[in-house]
Amino acid sequence: MEEQTQPELASPEVQKRIRDSFDRQGLMGHLGAYLSVIAPGRVHILLPSRPEVTQQHGYFHAGATSAIADSAGGYAGFTLFPENTSVLTVEYKINLLAPAEGEHLEAIGTVLRSGRTLTVCQLEVFGVQGSRRTLVAAGQQTLICIDPRPER
């Protein structure tokens, strides 16, 4: 489960690499998601509540919840990858544990094991309402470190 300590931040160079890549992601921009923490092996992404990211009952849509979880894990792994490499998700599994509601969602990706080729991450998504945090989704992800690919 989530740690309550603030992680040490990644170096300015790694933060820039992560932010530059994140800013090129059309889906994250479309959803209104943004990076809140970039630490070695750990990334937090926030998604404010708005009608465009909800489903018919007013909860955050599972697709939006899953998308920010996938990106949080991907960028957590990417913080540990060598410079001049790229990251792709090989697979991920997510369990939706509770209705995703609140002022915003916070996705936290944490590297469990970083390998030369494959990296495994833990994914957690919390619904946040004031000081109340509810774990709404949890999962695991496998990433692959690849040669650089052109990014738009």
Cα 60 to Cα 8, 48, 75, 129, 141: the distances in Å are 30, 10, 22, 13, 21
127 lies in which domain range?
A: 12-146
CATH of the domain at 109: 3.10.129.10
**Model confidence at 140: pLDDT above 90:** yes
How far out from the chain centre does Cα 68 lie?
5
Indicate whether 3 belongs to any domain: no
Query: Across residues 1-27, what is the average pLDDT?
Result: 85
* Distance (Å, whole) CA 77 – CA 85: 11
Indicate whether 6 belongs to any domain: no
* Distance (Å, whole) CA 113 – CA 110: 9
Indicate whether 1 belongs to any domain: no
Domain count, the chain: 1
CB 104 within 8 A of CB 79: no
**Which pLDDT band holds residue 55 (cuts at 50, 70, 90)?**
very high
Indicate whether 52 belongs to any domain: yes
Indicate whether 63 belongs to any domain: yes
